[in-house]
């Protein structure tokens, strides 16, 4: 809804749900909607890998959402 209202947005999901996220975006009429993917399964990752995934996601979010 935010994206449709003009506020840039991104969805974060695990790689295992990327196809579902892409399908949902298409179903909502937003085939180019951006997804930031993190590793799957997230719940069983060691703490250091969770931190690495979070850093990677943050960097992607900055590239996609912060102008300039």
Assign 42 a pLDDT band (cuts: 50, 70, 90): confident
Query: Which pTM does this prediction carry?
Result: 0.80
Which SS3 state, helix, strand or coil, does residue 11 take? Answer: strand
User: Which residue is associated with the tokens 């975006």?
Assistant: 25
Q: What is the pLDDT of residues 21-39, one digit of tens each?
A: 999 999 999 999 999 999 9
Assign 43 a pLDDT band (cuts: 50, 70, 90): confident
The CA distance from 57 to 42, in Å, is 13
Domain ranges for the chain, please list them: 11-65
- Specify whether the CB–CB gap between 20 and 37 falls below 8 A: no
């Amino acid at each position: 809804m935010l994206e449709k209202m003009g506020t840039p947005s991104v969805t974060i999901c695990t790689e295992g749900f990327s196809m579902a996220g892409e399908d949902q975006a298409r179903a909502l009429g937003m085939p180019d909607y951006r997804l930031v993917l993190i590793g799957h399964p997230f719940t069983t990752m060691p703490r250091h890998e969770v931190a690495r995934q979070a850093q990677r996601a943050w960097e992607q979010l900055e590239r996609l959402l912060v102008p300039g």
